[in-house]
Structure 1
Amino acid sequence: MSTDNVELAKQTPDHPQPYKELGMNDEEYGRVRDILRRRPTASELAIYSVMWSEHCSYKSSKVHLRQFGDKAPQTEALLVGMGENAGVVDVGQGWAVTFKVESHNHPSYVEPYQGAATGVGGIVRDIISMGARPVAVMDSLRFGPADAPDTKRVLPGVVAGVGGYGNSLGLPNIGGETVFDPCYLDNPLVNALCIGVMKHEDIHLATASGAGNQVILYGSYTGPDGIGGASVLASATFDEESQAKRPAVQVGDPFTEKLLIECSLELFHSDLVVGIQDLGAAGVSCATTELAASGTGGMDVKLDLVPLRDPTMSPEEILMSESQERMMAVVTPENVEAFLAVCAKWEVPATVIGEVTDSGRLVMTWHGEVIVDLPPRTAAHDGPVYQRPIAIPEDQASLQADAPTRLARPSNRDELRKTVLWMIGSPNLASKEWVTSRYDRYVLGNTVLAQPENAGLIRLDDETGLGVALSLDGNGRYTRLDPYAGAQLGLSEAYRNVAATGAQPLAVTNCLNFGSPEDPGVMWQFAEATRGLADACLALGIPVTGGNVSFYNQTGTTPINPTPVIGVLGVHQDVRRRNAMAFAAEGHKVVLLGATHEEFGGSEWAHVMYGHLGGLPPRVDLQAEAALGSVLITAAHETLLSGAHDLSDGGLNQALVEASLRGGLGVRVALGEDPFTYLFSESVARAVVAVRPEAEARFVDICEQAGVPYTTIGMTGGDSYAVDGQFSIPLHELREAHTATLPGIVG
């Protein structure tokens, strides 16, 4: 069988090649020729094109992402940092936790169900590849206006895909967010997070070491679905032309993935694996080059041994396929038989396709002909690095000058009451039960807290109560107004959510969703946001363990609001002593923690009532955030509170409504002469808590020791939400306004 092989490439240096169609520019193609000292074969071109794509190589973001390492706080908890499939942290008692968030934005617009489903599948395999058992997932979803026709197409499919895949795997979905904004019309964001648990000794890394060790591909057969899917589709401007020639979106099979999970864990526990890599974006190209580059340095692969669903696939198609539910392992020769036996037990196909060498070359053959011969590091780690032009967007100054102070506020009690109901029924603040009811939140039996709680909370140890909390947050409007502060505000909210449960924040993952890196304004936003996040992580003492960059999130020339989504992981020493958000007991004092300022730039109030975006976002105060966290964590440990809810989008009003509805218990508060500011300001480092009567003195003491302002504003009880001198709204009316929105829009 004749194909474009290395010898032919040497003899035909001027043979035209479709490198531009594969997303490479002239300079990049020329660099490949310099590396190989000849033109690439079609298979080599396929490898370099996907491995040097924006999605896989981070070529426009590397120069900025380095800050996460350069500014990383020194912490003993970090066991595996950036550069591996996922970060790993020590949570005590011999347990380690790995977690990561990634995007599947463009595929989810093209094919909502499969795009979202395979996003979940991909992040789960990242966690498996570290040697961990996946224990929970989360998602951060963003769509256009809730009533837009295309939102009605995309939203149900995405939710069904997230739920269908995660539920079939038996993984609880414990939290996340669902946000609507016009900027995401035709470019939804689907960011999926997975968390896994293991003992310290079970950590596995992506490395192919040991000449003579065997390379085994196991899992699903390789097919034509998803050829170049994530790596190509996510690495170019998303417009009608790119959609017309888009590659097929990957097709997921969660039941095969469930077998793959159990099979992989048995292989790990039987000590049959030297190195491991999941096959996600760039498929076989990524797995072979990254394993070889991180190990002894060489690998020989017989590409024609790859099991195929379609026997007509060419070598290039095999290399670029992103078929799901596949893994690649490096195994010593004496363990191959045992490895294959475990795979057979779980009915997982497995095939030896190659061998580790010390040649420093990745060599692939196709029916005996050498079709690939390249230094693997040049594809996996030495791709192009761009210092893209940066410029402040032309409208940035005018945007910040357009403060919401010009917007009319409620002028009487009736208007204030109507504003409360409009706000809690607006798409971003309304109940997301329509979404979360599609997810299994309590499967496996270790979910302690899940949506709509402050953060998800998972029990790790039944005897000691050790657990971990997770929150996933971001605010594109804040980041549009001030990218540096906006990224920090996303971190602050996730930190606050985790601390509100009583967990100590420990580590960060992120998914950075931005427009085209070829736009200097977008690159300014990206540079500022990464700088802000790195500085904030250093100030709070929590390292970034890994994450994902998603560029080209725009339709035509209009980018989305810059949207860094931040995941924070915290360790809870005893989940039985958690803080829940509900007002759960009558007659307990309600206390507002933190300082409230008149801060409405980028707020939900300005967005809901006027569609306004302008001014500056709330002022960042990381010291106050850490102090508030210490109070909430201590209060949980000492069981001082009967309810605790962080304040974020929608301010105090949203928190009071959610805490009351969650517990089915009313609340009455007094807010002085300016209830509007107290109710709807989005100042940071704030929470509202209900204090147990016997704990009041102790709670005041810990607030004063931490320097956290505290104000008693009311009392729990009754069947209404009341603000003295302003309004009283029965809980049944609140519940109707809060829960009817999404079902009414989506159907």
Structure 2
Amino acid sequence: MSDPSAATPNSSATPGVDAAVELGLTPAEYALIVEKMGREPNEVELAVFSLLWSEHCSYKHSKKLLGTLPTTGPKVVMGPGENAGAVDVGHGLAIAFKVESHNHPSAVEPFQGAATGVGGILRDIFAIGARPIAVLDSLRFGEPTSERSRYLLDGAVQGIGHYGNSIGVPNIGGEVYFEHPYEQNCLVNAMALGMAETDRMIRSAAAGIGNVVVLFGASTGRDGIGGASVLASAEFGEDDPDKRPTVQVGDPFEESKLLECSLELLERELLVSLQDLGAAGLTSSSAEMASKGEVGVDLDMSKVPLREPGMAPWEIMISESQERMLCVVEPAQVDAVLTVCEKWEVHGTAIGSVTDTGHLRVFDGDELVGDMPVPALVDDCPLYDLEPAKPEGGAPTIYDAPAATLDHDVSDPGVTLLALLGSPNIASRKPLFQQYDCLVQSRTVRRPEQADAAVLMLPRGGAIAVSIDGNGRRVAADPYRGTMENVLECAANLACAGAEPLGLTNCLNFGNPEKPHIAWQLTESIRGLGEACRALDAPVVGGNVSLYNESAGGPIYPTPVVGLVGELPDPAYAGRSGFAREGDTIALVGPFAPFLPGSELSKLRGEPLPDGLEHVDLEGAKAAHAAVRDAVRAGAIASAHDIAEGGLLVAVAEAALFGGLGATLQLPLDDFADPDRLLFGESPGRGFIVSGDAAALEALRERTPVTVLGTVGGDALSVDTGATSFAVTLAELREAHGALAPLFP
């Protein structure tokens, strides 16, 4: 490659402001680019700027808010800014983890959208030198009675299973909700975890003037051009077949080779830095590496291995073809790097070099076709102040009330319980997770429906637990308190397994932030997220923001998904959700404050969202989590299950189903004028159903509220409220809970 440092790139084509607007930039942003460049950008440069200044790559509407979150802590090894965050789990090991969205591609082509979402999040993990050990997913669709929702659900589940099962990474947990606002804009969030030697992890900053830039992995094609970065930065309609080519196509077997190649290169200490190619492809990976290292990078498009002949330089730069990595290598190590690539049968090609210019320069052979200052591309992207305003009439006015599926006059709690157990948001997810391999790699201690959080053994002692949560309906009612509840519920799941939080990752799924009511949702949600994380000492180590999730039918529910990783000292004492022993005492533990508005029962009755939720007692919840966690670790209680969707009676029924043992309850209704409030009201993250001997439960009372409810045993759930009594057999509960099974014949 020649070095025409004083040359001006080929600028015979300067597309202009109209082309910039078509690519998602505003006229003001185009004018700013011209100012920073000192001239109009050509075709290659405009394509690069349009992607790096897109919402998906720059976070221009959320970056200022994200800066308010707590990101440091004694266990944090890597925080925000790298491919994934990581926490120290002792014995020289770190756990890397991150969650990302692939919402818009999945709404266009659900199988490949979801599959490549898994592939992308796995690359984030091994890009910092960690071997992937688990995947979880958080999914949102319209009501399952909808033909479109069924199509999206089937495709996404198959795509997740195909990629994860093929590459040999277990899918150990997750969640799925069905709500009408996700009808046109499904959410597919994937979380991955990896394990690494703490002192062998690598960062992505380019370094070393004269070092060589090597592209390795799959060849480059037109699939994915303008994919995640464009789709995730604009609203789109119900039928956009023209956007189907922008969805990437994944190959898990190619990624498996790429994974092993990357880890061997790191094991042999052949790399200076490493970055995966995700959204915006070579554009984002090279510019971000250069920005972090405060250097320049030259790239030659004529050297990139192509899947399709005749690709223009701008197409090669922005292609989002999957299963590719970019690394910086000292010149003396290039041959060794290429030899390892040849061993694993992945393309390995030197395509550029690190320079002292501070520019990203793009060549096509000897021809300079693009020359852009790196700070202008990455650091000087305009950041916007939101203009939040709570909608007139309150939060619920944004969304239509759901269609009623349960008569409001139903007075038999047993009938209500069965309706809730069979409702789409509570019914067993077994038909979904049985399509995923949760045991491969032989680390899984607790899998779905065995415990509230998944648990994995660590090779040098101890274990980790992980959970992912995000109730959009309650956040729609109250973005601030609803987001705090999401964090509390996720932490409560860890407590039930006996784990203490180490760090949190998040995926913030919202509508168009340029609209005041969406800006209000986002602002309030991040405020609640930060407050809950500080209260629980759970630093945010990374995450993702997905905006513009709306169509002509309106926005999605604001859905801040949170994933927590925690540690427990002994996997043998990992908690279980299901009742374990006949005769154990059942108790309600924690500052449980049931609230019916916004609950699943409220949805079944067709009631609109409330304008706000009740006060969230963060300190009381934290104390309850610690008390339950310690009791589980000590083996003092036999089971622990948090009270979430459906309320107290649903939680008891699930504990009975998961353990195969019934229960007899005497419920204290004296303080509740409305029995449904105690039985089915919700207070996420602030209440637990536990079972054990009476002495162990009495010991818990010294640290958090405890109310004895009854006894484990029998083949039915029998309830006496004082005002009424009823019994439902385990067989009836199981039949209701299996309501989703017919959807997956």
TM-score above 0.5, yes or no? yes
1:246-304 Cα shifts (integer Å, max 9, x gaps): 54210000011111111111111110111010000000001110111111511111111
Partner of 1:491: 487
Q: Decide whether aligned partners of structure 1 residues 134 and 670 sit closer, same or farther in structure 2, where only a CA change above 3 A counts.
A: same
Q: How far is the alpha carbon of 1:602 from its aligned partner?
A: 1.1
Partner of 2:727: 728
Q: Decide whether aligned partners of structure 1 residues 94 and 709 sit closer, same or farther in structure 2, where only a CA change above 3 A counts.
A: same
Partner of 2:540: 544
Q: How far is the alpha carbon of 1:31 from its aligned partner?
A: 1.2
Alignment partners' CA distance in 2, 1:81 and 1:410 = 52
Q: Is the 2:579–2:661 Cα contact (8 Å) retained in structure 1?
A: yes
Q: Decide whether aligned partners of structure 1 residues 528 and 82 sit closer, same or farther in structure 2, where only a CA change above 3 A counts.
A: same
Q: Decide whether aligned partners of structure 1 residues 597 and 382 sit closer, same or farther in structure 2, where only a CA change above 3 A counts.
A: same
The one-letter code sitting in structure 2 at the alignment partner of 1:713 is L
| Mapping of residues 34-113 of structure 1, within 5 Å | 34-68=35-69, 71-72=70-71, 75-113=73-111
Partner of 2:3: none
SS at match of 1:20: helix
Q: Is the 2:396–2:477 Cα contact (8 Å) retained in structure 1?
A: no
What stretches of structure 2 of length at least 5 have no aligned partner?
1-5
Q: How far is the alpha carbon of 1:672 from its aligned partner?
A: 3.0
Q: Is the 1:448–1:458 Cα contact (8 Å) retained in structure 2?
A: yes
Q: Decide whether aligned partners of structure 1 residues 715 and 33 sit closer, same or farther in structure 2, where only a CA change above 3 A counts.
A: same
| Mapping of residues 573-588 of structure 1, within 5 Å | 573-588=569-584
Q: Decide whether aligned partners of structure 1 residues 340 and 398 sit closer, same or farther in structure 2, where only a CA change above 3 A counts.
A: closer
Alignment partners' CA distance in 2, 1:254 and 1:383 = 34
| Mapping of residues 125-140 of structure 1, within 5 Å | 125-140=123-138
| Mapping of residues 703-742 of structure 1, within 5 Å | 703-704=701-702, 706=703, 708-724=704-720, 725-739=724-738, 741-742=739-740
Number of residue-to-residue matches in the alignment: 729
Q: How far is the alpha carbon of 1:604 from its aligned partner?
A: 0.7
Alignment partners' CA distance in 1, 2:171 and 2:9 = 52
SS at match of 1:18: helix
Alignment partners' CA distance in 2, 1:6 and 1:392 = 52
1:58-100 Cα shifts (integer Å, max 9, x gaps): 01111211101xx44x521111111111111111221111111
Alignment partners' CA distance in 2, 1:6 and 1:143 = 52
| Mapping of residues 654-673 of structure 1, within 5 Å | 654-673=650-669
1:481 aligns with 2:477: yes
1:647 aligns with 2:643: yes
Q: Which moved more, 1:11-20 or 1:375-384?
A: 11-20
Q: How far is the alpha carbon of 1:408 from its aligned partner?
A: 8.2
1:697 aligns with 2:695: yes
| Mapping of residues 278-297 of structure 1, within 5 Å | 278-297=276-295
| Mapping of residues 398-477 of structure 1, within 5 Å | 412=411, 415-452=412-449, 453-461=451-459, 464=461, 466-477=462-473
Q: Is the 2:395–2:478 Cα contact (8 Å) retained in structure 1?
A: no
Alignment partners' CA distance in 2, 1:75 and 1:257 = 33
Q: Decide whether aligned partners of structure 1 residues 14 and 678 sit closer, same or farther in structure 2, where only a CA change above 3 A counts.
A: closer
**TM-score (normalizing by structure 1):** 0.94
Alignment partners' CA distance in 2, 1:363 and 1:20 = 24
SS at match of 2:740: helix
Q: How far is the alpha carbon of 1:235 from its aligned partner?
A: 0.4
Q: How far is the alpha carbon of 1:403 from its aligned partner?
A: 12
Q: Decide whether aligned partners of structure 1 residues 401 and 338 sit closer, same or farther in structure 2, where only a CA change above 3 A counts.
A: closer
Partner of 1:633: 629
Q: Decide whether aligned partners of structure 1 residues 59 and 669 sit closer, same or farther in structure 2, where only a CA change above 3 A counts.
A: same
Q: How far is the alpha carbon of 1:615 from its aligned partner?
A: 4.2
1:188-212 Cα shifts (integer Å, max 9, x gaps): 0000000111111121111110011
Q: Decide whether aligned partners of structure 1 residues 486 and 274 sit closer, same or farther in structure 2, where only a CA change above 3 A counts.
A: same
SS at match of 1:313: coil
1:459-515 Cα shifts (integer Å, max 9, x gaps): 112x52x11111111111111111111111110110111111000011111000000
Q: Is the 2:395–2:476 Cα contact (8 Å) retained in structure 1?
A: no
The one-letter code sitting in structure 2 at the alignment partner of 1:687 is F
Q: Decide whether aligned partners of structure 1 residues 566 and 16 sit closer, same or farther in structure 2, where only a CA change above 3 A counts.
A: closer
Partner of 1:156: 154
The one-letter code sitting in structure 1 at the alignment partner of 2:609 is L
SS at match of 1:294: helix
Alignment partners' CA distance in 2, 1:671 and 1:710 = 13
SS at match of 2:362: strand
The one-letter code sitting in structure 1 at the alignment partner of 2:530 is A
SS at match of 2:308: coil
Q: Decide whether aligned partners of structure 1 residues 241 and 600 sit closer, same or farther in structure 2, where only a CA change above 3 A counts.
A: same
Partner of 2:253: 255
The one-letter code sitting in structure 2 at the alignment partner of 1:716 is V
Alignment partners' CA distance in 2, 1:359 and 1:403 = 57
Q: How far is the alpha carbon of 1:421 from its aligned partner?
A: 0.6
The one-letter code sitting in structure 1 at the alignment partner of 2:417 is V
1:506 aligns with 2:502: yes
Partner of 1:393: 391
1:306-334 Cα shifts (integer Å, max 9, x gaps): 10000111111111110000000111111
Q: How far is the alpha carbon of 1:377 from its aligned partner?
A: 2.6
Q: Which moved more, 1:601-610 or 1:713-722?
A: 601-610
Q: Which moved more, 1:136-145 or 1:680-689?
A: 680-689
Q: Decide whether aligned partners of structure 1 residues 398 and 504 sit closer, same or farther in structure 2, where only a CA change above 3 A counts.
A: closer
Q: Is the 2:10–2:369 Cα contact (8 Å) retained in structure 1?
A: no
The one-letter code sitting in structure 2 at the alignment partner of 1:444 is Q
Q: How far is the alpha carbon of 1:592 from its aligned partner?
A: 0.9
Partner of 1:320: 318
Give 1:183's match in structure 2, choosing from 156, 159, 181.
181
Q: Is the 1:210–1:296 Cα contact (8 Å) retained in structure 2?
A: no
Q: Decide whether aligned partners of structure 1 residues 348 and 703 sit closer, same or farther in structure 2, where only a CA change above 3 A counts.
A: farther
Q: Decide whether aligned partners of structure 1 residues 398 and 294 sit closer, same or farther in structure 2, where only a CA change above 3 A counts.
A: closer
Give 2:552's match in structure 1, choosing from 536, 546, 556.
556
Q: Is the 1:6–1:372 Cα contact (8 Å) retained in structure 2?
A: no
Q: Decide whether aligned partners of structure 1 residues 105 and 402 sit closer, same or farther in structure 2, where only a CA change above 3 A counts.
A: closer
1:632-656 Cα shifts (integer Å, max 9, x gaps): 2211221011111011111112211
Q: How far is the alpha carbon of 1:701 from its aligned partner?
A: 2.3
Give 2:340's match in structure 1, choosing from 336, 339, 342.
342
Q: Decide whether aligned partners of structure 1 residues 6 and 119 sit closer, same or farther in structure 2, where only a CA change above 3 A counts.
A: farther
Give 2:613's match in structure 1, choosing from 617, 634, 657.
617
Alignment partners' CA distance in 2, 1:35 and 1:698 = 67
Q: Which moved more, 1:717-726 or 1:240-249?
A: 240-249
Q: Is the 1:166–1:172 Cα contact (8 Å) retained in structure 2?
A: yes
**TM-score (normalizing by structure 2):** 0.94
What stretches of structure 1 of length at least 5 have no aligned partner?
none
Give 1:165's match in structure 2, choosing from 154, 163, 166.
163
Q: Decide whether aligned partners of structure 1 residues 14 and 681 sit closer, same or farther in structure 2, where only a CA change above 3 A counts.
A: closer
1:164-198 Cα shifts (integer Å, max 9, x gaps): 10111111111110100011001100000001111
Q: How far is the alpha carbon of 1:124 from its aligned partner?
A: 0.5
SS at match of 1:84: coil
Q: Is the 1:631–1:703 Cα contact (8 Å) retained in structure 2?
A: no
Q: Is the 2:591–2:620 Cα contact (8 Å) retained in structure 1?
A: no
Partner of 2:212: 214
Q: Is the 1:230–1:281 Cα contact (8 Å) retained in structure 2?
A: yes
Alignment partners' CA distance in 1, 2:190 and 2:134 = 11
Q: How far is the alpha carbon of 1:360 from its aligned partner?
A: 1.3
Q: Decide whether aligned partners of structure 1 residues 173 and 96 sit closer, same or farther in structure 2, where only a CA change above 3 A counts.
A: same
Alignment partners' CA distance in 2, 1:715 and 1:389 = 54
1:642-697 Cα shifts (integer Å, max 9, x gaps): 11101111111221111111111111111133553332111241101111x3xx32
1:560-583 Cα shifts (integer Å, max 9, x gaps): 111101111111111111111111
Q: Which moved more, 1:15-24 or 1:218-227?
A: 15-24
SS at match of 2:357: coil
Q: Which moved more, 1:312-321 or 1:392-401?
A: 392-401
